Amino acid sequence: MSNDKGNNEGDDKGNNESDAAMLIVLSTCPDLKIANAIATQLVEKHLAACVNILALEDSVYRWKGKIEHAKEFLLVIKTRKEKYILLEMEIKRMHPDEVPEIVAMKSEKVSREYLEWVRRCCLV
């Protein structure tokens, strides 16, 4: 019964293919001013549909042989897969760190409406 509404095989296949086009990119910034500047630039240049800025209480990492602690701001960036290279270049251009954190993850499932909104925002 190919018309059975209980059979989601066709829908799942379509969702998986289209959802793979959206990425969630994480990047940390040393202060709110830099986080806001990068977030605004990414949205203005249509490299991201949305960027959330989250204050992190403490980040612990190793840098040049020492354990470091820092208060940072996390950018949660929603973008299209096709925009990743330009987005990465823009973050590196604006970011003050020698090695900025830029980590991209594929979206597994995204509502159709949200995915379409991301696509429209990142078209140019």
- Would you kindly state where each structural domain of the chain is located, as residue ranges? 22-121
The domain made up of 22-121 has a fold known as Alpha-Beta Plaits (3.30.70)
**Angle value at C-alpha 25, between 20 and 26, nearest 5 degrees:** 150
Which tens digits make up the pLDDT trace of 30-74? 999 999 999 999 999 999 999 999 999 999 999 999 999 999 999
Burial class (CB in 10 A: 0-12, 13-18, 19+), 123: exposed
Cα–Cα distance for residue pair 78/26, rounded to 1 Å: 9
Model pLDDT, residue 21: 86
DSSP E strands, the chain: 22-29, 50-63, 66-80, 103-106
Higher pLDDT among residues 16 and 22, named by residue: 22
- Residues 6 or more apart whose Cβ sits within 8 Å of residue 117: 49
Model pLDDT, residue 18: 52
Q: Amino acid letter at 1?
A: M
